[in-house]
Homo-oligomer: A and B are copies of this chain.
Amino acid sequence: MEYYSNQISKLIEELSRLPGIGAKTAQRLAFYLISQPVESVNQLATAITEARTKVRYCKSCCTLTDEELCPICASQNRNHKLIMVVENSRDLAAYEKTGKYDGVYHVLHGAISPMLGIGPADIRLKELMQRLQGDVEELIIATNSSLEGETTAMYISKLVKPSGIKVSRIASGVPVGGDIEYIDEVTLLRALEGRVEL
């Protein structure tokens, strides 16, 4: 892209490496950044480097945090005997937004996927098993409803059940507001199998 100056081309190139940012969006973002006050641009750059260097894994639940223990694991108001297993920190945030879950989490940072060569040793399972040595009443598996998520859920449940800890899986079915007409067959079958008495 020789019609732009070096610095602009470099910025566009760097921005277009981000996921979901194509060449056109990168170009728009680059020109936007150049037009902004120096301080606010520096703020963004600092936020990027600081987040990358200072963020680490919570000692207990493995979510991303800046402290040794994340705010949820450190909280006295949460039920530490109830652990929800999620695939990543975004899934944790999604459940936190509901505001109704008072247990703690365990973030796997992935799911078992033989296709991608991701085995049980590549996700944070060892850390989970260690936590289960403590006082835990129930383990809720909230991995995605995908092939990988289901495989992971099955694997964990087989691993944990012998210890006597209650293992549950979040319900699968028609989403709220979902139109049955447009929902795939597998989900419809799941919803049928998982029907509850009224």
Contact = CB atoms under 8 A, between A and B. Distances in A.
Contact of A53 (B4, B29, B38, B54): B38
Contacts of A41: 48-49, 52
Query: Which range contains the number of A residues in contact with the other chain?
Result: 35 or more
B20 A90 contact: no
A90 B31 contact: yes
Nearest to A4: B93
A116 to B, nearest CB: 15
A29 B89 CA distance: 13
Nearest to A13: B47
A36 interface: yes
A5 B52 contact: no
A34 B55 contact: yes
A182 interface: no
Interface stretch (A60-68, A118-126, A132-140): A60-68
Interface in A67-103: 67, 70-72, 88-90, 92-93, 96-97
Interface of A: 1-8, 10-11, 13-15, 17-21, 25, 27-34, 36, 38, 40-55, 64-67, 70-72, 88-90, 92-93, 96-97
